[in-house]
Amino acid sequence: MQRAHHVIVLPIFIATICTSAFLLFSVQPMFAKMVLPTLGGAPAVWAVSLCFFQVMLVAGYGYAHLLERYLAPKLALVFHLALLALALAALPIGLPAISAAAAPDRAYLWLITILCLGVGLPFFVLSANAPLLQAWFGRSGHIESSDAYFLYAASNAGSLTALLAYPLLIEPLLGLTTQSRIWAVGFALLGALIAACGWSTLRELPARATAPRKSSADLPGLGFGNWKDRLTWAGLSFIPSGLLVALTTFVTTDIAAVPLLWVVPLALYLGTFIVAFQRKPPISRRFLLGLQPVAIAITIATMDWDAGLAWAISCLAGIAAFLATSLLCHRQLYEQRPGAERLTEYYLWMSIGGSAGGIFSALIAPQIFTNLLEFPLLLGLGMLCRFGGDTSAVLGKRWPLAASTLAALAVLVAVITTLTRGGMIAWTPQMRVSVLAGLGMAMVVTYRWITPQLVATAALVLGAVLLPDGNKPIHVARTFFGTHRVIEPPGAAFRILLHGTTLHGAQRIADYRLTGTRPLP
CA distance 86 to 151: 27
* Helix, coil or strand: residue 93: coil
Q: What is the pLDDT of residue 221?
A: 42
**With 50 as the cut, is the pLDDT of residue 153 above it?**
yes
Query: Considering the domain boundaries, does residue 181 fall inside one?
Result: yes
pTM: 0.75
Q: What is the pLDDT of residue 223?
A: 41
Please state the domain count of the chain: 3
Q: Are 115 and 205 in a shared domain?
A: yes
DSSP per-residue letters across 341-362? GGHHHHHHHHHHHHHHHHHIII
Q: What is the pLDDT of residue 408?
A: 64
CA distance 234 to 354: 7
* Helix, coil or strand: residue 477: strand
CATH number, residue 169: 1.20.1250
For the chain, what's the residue count? Answer: 521
**With 90 as the cut, is the pLDDT of residue 429 above it?**
no
CA distances from 351 to 286, 346, 391, 509 (A): 27, 9, 23, 51
CA distances from 296 to 25, 29, 69, 250, 321 (A): 29, 29, 42, 15, 5
Which of 186, 213, 240 is the C-terminal boundary of a domain? 213
Q: Are 422 and 479 in a shared domain?
A: no
CA distance 455 to 402: 6
- Residue scoring higher pLDDT (228 or 39): 228
Q: 477 - beta bridge partners? A: 484
Mean pLDDT across the chain, nearest whole number?
Answer: 78
Q: Are 76 and 178 in a shared domain?
A: yes
Q: Are 439 and 486 in a shared domain?
A: no
Query: Considering the domain boundaries, does residue 318 fall inside one?
Result: no
How large a percentage of the chain has pLDDT more than 90?
A: 20
Q: Which tens digits make up the pLDDT trace of 207-248?
A: 444 444 444 334 444 344 478 888 889 999 999 999 998 888
Q: What is the pLDDT of residue 191?
A: 93
In this structure, are residues 20 and 130 in contact, taking their beta carbons and an 8 Å threshold? yes
**With 80 as the cut, is the pLDDT of residue 325 above it?**
yes
In this structure, are residues 186 and 19 in contact, taking their beta carbons and an 8 Å threshold? yes
Q: Which tens digits make up the pLDDT trace of 176-189?
A: 899 999 999 999 99
Query: Considering the domain boundaries, does residue 384 fall inside one?
Result: no
Which of 181, 213, 245 is the C-terminal boundary of a domain? 213
Query: Span 38-58, mean pLDDT?
Result: 77
Q: Are 2 and 77 in a shared domain?
A: yes
- Residue scoring higher pLDDT (207 or 476): 476
Query: Considering the domain boundaries, does residue 354 fall inside one?
Result: no
Residues 6+ apart with CB under 8 A from 478: 366, 369, 370, 371, 484
Which of 213, 236, 268 is the C-terminal boundary of a domain? 213
Q: Are 110 and 201 in a shared domain?
A: yes
| Full residue range of the structural domain in which residue 396 is found | 391-466
Q: What is the pLDDT of residue 487?
A: 66
Q: What is the pLDDT of residue 17?
A: 92
Query: Considering the domain boundaries, does residue 480 fall inside one?
Result: yes
- Residue scoring higher pLDDT (284 or 260): 284
